[in-house]
Structure 1
Amino acid sequence: MTAQMADRFLCNNDQYSLIGIKGGGLCTPKSFGMESEMMSTACYRGFHALYELTEKELILREFTLNEPNNNYVPIGDVKPIITEYYGTYEKLNVIVDFTGKIRLAKDFLREFYIHMGYQKASAYETIYDITIEHGRVLVINNRSEEMKQKRGQFMEQFESGNLKQSIDNAFSLDMDLI
């Protein structure tokens, strides 16, 4: 199994990986009337996205997917750039009405890499939990110092725990997993 491609978020000119989520409303192929199937072992769900998070709104900027029937429909007025394996929609400006919490991280610490699923907060230097209501930021909580104290904890649990549970946890974006 392979580490998975995380959705990415642009915030204040920095790029972060989505490593946790509670709530609903982020974009999926179904949001646009499409289906997806695995793109590669690094993208089992068949799609990934780039969002921009501003003080006022959450915006989908780029969306890549493998549509099994080649039913790539325009998103707004944007048509995809289609390759043999997937289509990419660039320069999107789709306002996203997400309500919930997201965990964003950057500055990955390679020594805590797990070759399966999504990387967890204890493997990054910079971590933020962000509460969003209808696409607007309400609260930003810097969790970096707390996660520094828990550095590598998920890797330890992954390597010493029940195999099935470790795999399930690796592929989860549950914010309680660190």
Structure 2
Amino acid sequence: MTAQIPDEFIFKGKKYELIGIKGDDLFSPETFGMEPEMIHTACYRGFYAKYRFTREVLYLSELTINEKNNNYLPINGIKPIGNPLHEMTYRKLNLIIPFTGKIRMARNFLNEYYVHMGFQSPWAYETVLDITIKEGKVIDIKDRSEEFKLKWQEIKQQEINNVVDWINDAFSLDMDLE
């Protein structure tokens, strides 16, 4: 099992990683007639994306995808670059994402908490933000950094009772909002 490549966000000039989501998908290649296929063990879902917030609106700025049938269609008028036998990258997409839901994003990863499978946990970062979005616009921002720092202290004191659940959690981006 391998750690997965997270989607990235540029928010207020800083780079964050997606570590949780509640709501529909942010972006679905199927919407654009493409079927993603695993790129490598660090990208089982077959694509990863970069987003940015501009004037509090969410945009897809870049997409790297391995299309199962080499059927790389234009997105927002942009054609991809790269090697069609592997993955291709769409740059400067500027595609508005009308997402409604919550995303959890984090920055300043703490290497001592690295887990070599799935997505990294919130307590493995110095900064953790929950962003509530409605139709692509930021509605609320909640800084949860201190909360997850305390959560890590609890986790360190507990044993992993169910390894299967722990592994499944590592590969999930579902948000535990409790």
Kept in 2, the 8 Å contact 1:120–1:177? The answer is no
Query: CA, structure 1 residues 175+126, in 2 after alignment: closer, same or farther (shift >3 Å)?
Result: same
The amino acid across from 2:51 in the alignment is: Y
Distance 1:155 1:38 in 2: 33
Q: How does 1:1-178 map to 2 (within 5 A)?
A: 1-83=1-83, 84-151=85-152, 160-176=160-176
TM-score normalized with structure 1 length: 0.93
What stretches of structure 2 of length at least 5 have no aligned partner? none
Query: CA, structure 1 residues 110+152, in 2 after alignment: closer, same or farther (shift >3 Å)?
Result: farther
Matched-pair identity in %: 54
What stretches of structure 1 of length at least 5 have no aligned partner? none
Query: CA, structure 1 residues 108+156, in 2 after alignment: closer, same or farther (shift >3 Å)?
Result: farther
The amino acid across from 1:148 in the alignment is: K
Post-superposition offset of 1:13: 1.1
Aligned length in residues: 177
Post-superposition offset of 1:7: 0.5
Distance 1:143 1:58 in 2: 21
CA RMSD of aligned residues (A): 1.8
Post-superposition offset of 1:23: 0.4
Runs of 4+ in 1 over 6 A off after TM superposition: none
SS of equivalent to 1:151: helix
Post-superposition offset of 1:146: 1.0
Post-superposition offset of 1:156: 7.0
Kept in 2, the 8 Å contact 1:122–1:153? The answer is no
Kept in 2, the 8 Å contact 1:25–1:97? The answer is no
Post-superposition offset of 1:57: 1.0
SS of equivalent to 1:71: coil
Distance 1:152 1:86 in 2: 40
Query: CA, structure 1 residues 160+5, in 2 after alignment: closer, same or farther (shift >3 Å)?
Result: same
Query: CA, structure 1 residues 42+74, in 2 after alignment: closer, same or farther (shift >3 Å)?
Result: same
Distance 2:150 2:130 in 1: 16
Post-superposition offset of 1:72: 0.2
SS of equivalent to 1:168: helix
Post-superposition offset of 1:152: 6.1
